[in-house]
Amino acid sequence: MSTGHETPSDLWRRNLPVWVALMALLALSAWAAYWPFGRIDTAVGFAVAGVKAALVALVFMQLRHASGLVRVVAACGLFWAAILFTLTLADVLSRMVNR
Amino acid sequence: MSSADVEARPREGHPDIEARLREPWSDLETDHATAFARQRAGATFGIWIFLASEVLFFGALFLTYTAARLANQEAFAAAGRETNIVYGTLNTAILLTSSLTMAVASQAAEKGLFRRLTLGCLAATAALGLAFLVVKGFEYREDIEKHLVPGAHFALAQAPAQIFFAFYWLVTVVHAIHLSIGIGLVTRLIAKGRRDPDFLKENPQVEVTALYWHLVDLVWVFLYPMLYLPGRSG
């Protein structure tokens, strides 16, 4: 919609680099799981998942070019999930510390 | 001719746009192009609201996992070592690739120019989705043979490892149901697009299906470190 006359190769040129990055990130997280650093491995695994999710959401799901209204709705899902996680984990983690 | 008949006639001579206009947008007092643009915006807005509710549904499941893992870290590491990382990594690659073909199909349909590319990419997406389910089936068979089903004959000594595998079975089956629905929706687009050459062009149904497909992929992206990566270095 942005440019008038795109060809199929333009579509692939825009989306293929994202796929290459996603595959590289997948390889990184599989490799990082075998590092002998315990919790850092876990953190790398979930950080990589977050980056992959951001790439898919921004480019494949076109949030990059979405209207403000659509972005607010997408952010709402994350916002309420963040409240759910924060309040629950505040309880779980404080019990673990006091044990 | 009644006023309703006059109302229903194309105002601008876009018969293909008119065919894809649905209520209530077909009743708008604007030209069809504007009404169709609003229909597209409404479809995108609506599917994102559904996706936000799915984020909360899977978020609650992921939070249950997080709390159980924090309380039983050794057992979750031992249980995570038992899942098959080869199948898990292969399936992640398959789904990420299916998101690429789905994104290209959706963007090609949005431009309204490349029907063959759209149909080909939709077919590749459905095929990759089926490949994921086949790999998952082989994995389930191996899991059952290794007695990784919670219950009387469970393989691992630590009792909390059963919590891990209860989560594993619940969440992978729920994900597989979501993916099967996605394959059905993509197959429907292929069938309609093959029958009617104008069906896929600029049709919001393609974008809505694509956004749903990407969300199902994203759920798996987070399940991968939860189910397949714990306990690998120990």
Average pLDDT, chain A: 91
Query: Same structural domain for residues A93 and A56?
Result: no
Instruction: Residue A77: give the domain boundaries.
Output: 67-99
Band of residue B2 on the pLDDT scale cut at 50, 70, 90: very low
The domain over range B50-227 is classified in CATH as 3.40.50.300: no
Query: Same structural domain for residues A21 and A50?
Result: yes
Query: Same structural domain for residues A26 and A51?
Result: yes
Question: What value of ipTM does the predicted structure carry?
Answer: 0.92
C-alpha distances (whole Å) from A98 to each of A91, A95, B71, B110 are 11, 5, 13, 56
- Residues in chain A with CB shorter than 8 Å from the CB of B102 are 60
Q: What is the mean pLDDT of residues B167-192?
A: 97
Indicate if the pLDDT at residue B171 is higher than 90: yes
A60 with B99: Cβ contact below 8 A: yes
Q: What is the mean pLDDT of residues B29-52?
A: 91
Query: Same structural domain for residues A48 and A12?
Result: yes
- Residues in chain A with CB shorter than 8 Å from the CB of B85 are 30, 33
Question: B64 — contact with chain A (CB < 8 Å)?
Answer: no
Question: A66 — contact with chain B (CB < 8 Å)?
Answer: yes
CA distance A30 to A98: 34
Report the share of chain B in percent with pLDDT over 90. 75
The predicted structure's pLDDT at residue B234 = 66
Band of residue B14 on the pLDDT scale cut at 50, 70, 90: low
How far A19 CA lies from chain B's nearest CA (Å)? Answer: 6
Query: Same structural domain for residues A85 and A98?
Result: yes
Question: B59 — contact with chain A (CB < 8 Å)?
Answer: yes
Domain count of the fold of chain A: 2
Q: What is the mean pLDDT of residues B195-217?
A: 93
The predicted structure's pLDDT at residue B197 = 84
A74 with B217: Cβ contact below 8 A: no
Query: Same structural domain for residues A22 and A55?
Result: yes
Report the chain A residue with the minimal C-alpha distance to residue B93: A23
